[in-house]
Structure 1
Amino acid sequence: MASTLVRPRGQKVIAGVCAALANRFGVSRTLVRLGFIVFGVVGVGELVYIALWIMIPKER
């Protein structure tokens, strides 16, 4: 499990939020992305994604 939460440069699809969360917690990127899709259908996924996009720094 990674110790920091940063958005990777090479493993991102849109902004790297799902890849950052997957790397940090040691889970599949696909699983995290599917989770955001499900939460997006329910109505909160987009807001959480945008908030995390702003809060999680880019990898140097």
Structure 2
Amino acid sequence: MLLRNVSGLKLEPRTDEILAGLAAEMGKGKLDLVETILDDWLMANAYLPVPHALDEESEIEGSA
């Protein structure tokens, strides 16, 4: 996913502050974080396909 014209993206100061803090905490740029959030939201709401679907024979680690 490529974000275009993001320099014109207007965010409320509190939203911008939270994104900047999260980006710093995660060691990412703010624009990279916004891209990740949008990508996850689009997949969760079925606008984008999930990249790796699990089938019944797939091995998984951990527990639910």
Q: TM-score range by the shorter chain?
A: 0.3 to 0.5
**Structure number with larger C-alpha Rg:** 2
The structure showing larger relative contact order (alpha-carbon pairs under 8 Å, at least 6 residues apart) is 1
